[in-house]
Structure 1
Amino acid sequence: MTTARQVRQLVRPLLERHPDLTLVNSRTLMLVPIAHVTREIWIDRTSSALYFTPQWTLNPLFLPYVKPITNAGFCWEYIYRSADIDGQGRGWCWDDPDMPKEFITKTERVIKLLRSVDTLHACRSLTEAAIDYTWGKDCFENLVYDIAMGNLNLARCWWQEVKASPELQHLPQEGPWRTWNLRIRSLGKPLMDDNRAALAAILHRWERENVACAKVEAMWAPTPFPLEEAG
């Protein structure tokens, strides 16, 4: 398995060149400061000790879940190696002496891209223009997203679909799905009342809780949502 020491050695040149980049844990690089979306580069382990799999992702922090964001949010993409002289793909192999140099080159391109998406609008524009897998595939996520963006007329359309969804017909007795269900329900009244302040307070609370669970408070910069700026 890929070790924390291997990762630290691999990413050291990146950390030295980019003061807005930090190694959050043994495998995750983040651009800081963090606002509503984390901009991450993962150095994932594989089943082989010889290989690792790097990828980047944008993760929203204001969704109504009860655990920190750990999976793809807006989008995620693998960072691929260049083909060899025979046109065959190459993996990220620790034993390959050419690997570290190519990793730095490819990752710096990703850093430049991630640095350019420093607002909620920019994150969404990137995913809509270039990424096949985007956050906001279902009515629940679209509801929260459009509230955050201040698109309340559209959010009210999503709310009608959410209310009719099987997931909201019954309230779970306990567990994280009950919490999620109650949080989704809590959006209804302020949304229909056009109460932007109440909606913003809800999203800020969820974001604070996700930030605390993810243990990135020191890198987080609380920021108004477009919802508040449009009001």
Structure 2
Amino acid sequence: MTTGAQIRKMVKPLLERHDDLAMVGRFMVVKPIHHLRRGVYIDYCRTPRMFDPRTVVDILIPAKDPGSLGLGDFLTDPGIGYWDSTNPDAVERFFSLLEKKILPKLRSTTTFDQYQELAAYYRATAGYYDRQRFVEMLIATAKGDFELALSILEPQQDKQRYLTTIAPSFYPALLARDRIEIAKVLHEWEALAVQKCKLEKFWEPTPFPLELEGA
């Protein structure tokens, strides 16, 4: 199977052409990191030399297993399927696909609204489901729409219990519309997510929409 070292060697020319890309393990991250994790995860295959990439767009709240990749598509080599890391032509096709189609889309996806548009696309075209109602609640909270967040969360007692285990103050703060406490929890979650994914040096902490004037 392809190793992490082989993948990093393979993508080095691409990283040299784009200063907003970096490798963290098998994850090619698009910098900088704000509220979304964006990039391409280059997975190994059982077949030696081959690799299996997929795009990644995910929110960073709450912190979860780095292996949870959020929204994305598998990228296949036309007519072949998996990509051959030792075939220069295949590698160049992979780079071309990234540069012409994939990276522009990832770079332009920077906000919670754009994430929701992407999620809606997956639901409409592929029946994609990624715990979406829970994610909608989190994004509504981050945007300061507490009424929407509560309308989603109040019927879901299992999610309330889950939130209590990871941040006991979150649900009471949401009920109280306590922006300061909610923002505090969101920033703590995001910082922990960044740490778990080893993205600290690419992270630029920024206010959540609920903290901005007029939210």
What is the TM-score normalised by the length of structure 1? Answer: 0.81
Unaligned runs of 5+ residues in structure 2 are none
Aligned length: 210
**Contact 1:31–1:39 (Cα < 8 Å) also in 2:** yes
- What's 1:174 paired with? none
Q: Distance in 2 between matches of 1:136 and 1:147?
A: 16
Q: Is 1:201 the counterpart of 2:196 in the alignment? A: no
- Of residues 128, 141, 149 in structure 2, which corresponds to 1:147? 141
Q: Show CA shifts across 1:129-151 (max 9, x none).
A: 3564254424x433222211222
What is the TM-score normalised by the length of structure 2? Answer: 0.86
- What's 2:132 paired with? 137
- What's 2:67 paired with? 70
**Contact 1:59–1:72 (Cα < 8 Å) also in 2:** yes
**Contact 1:59–1:69 (Cα < 8 Å) also in 2:** no
Q: Distance in 1 between matches of 2:193 and 2:88?
A: 39
Residue type of the alignment partner of 1:150: G
Matches within 5 A, 1:57-136: 57-63=56-62, 65=63, 67-73=64-70, 75-83=71-79, 89-108=80-99, 109-130=101-122, 132=126, 133-136=128-131
Q: Distance in 1 between matches of 2:160 and 2:146?
A: 20
Residue type of the alignment partner of 2:112: L
Percent identity between the two aligned chains: 30
Q: Show CA shifts across 1:17-68 (max 9, x none).
A: 111011122x1100111011110211100111132101111121121x4x54
Choose 1 or 2 for highest CA Rg: 1
Q: Distance in 2 between matches of 1:122 and 1:168?
A: 26
**Contact 2:27–2:42 (Cα < 8 Å) also in 1:** yes
Q: Distance in 1 between matches of 2:139 and 2:168?
A: 15
**Contact 2:28–2:41 (Cα < 8 Å) also in 1:** yes
**Contact 2:15–2:21 (Cα < 8 Å) also in 1:** yes
Distance 1:91 1:70, change over 3 A: closer
Q: Distance in 1 between matches of 2:173 and 2:67?
A: 29
**Contact 2:10–2:85 (Cα < 8 Å) also in 1:** no
**Contact 1:22–1:31 (Cα < 8 Å) also in 2:** yes
C-alpha deviation, 1:181, in angstroms? 3.8
Q: Show CA shifts across 1:111-141 (max 9, x none).
A: 1110011222222222223564254424x43
- What's 1:44 paired with? 43
- What's 1:173 paired with? none
**Contact 1:61–1:69 (Cα < 8 Å) also in 2:** no
Q: Distance in 2 between matches of 1:51 and 1:111?
A: 22
Residue type of the alignment partner of 1:72: L
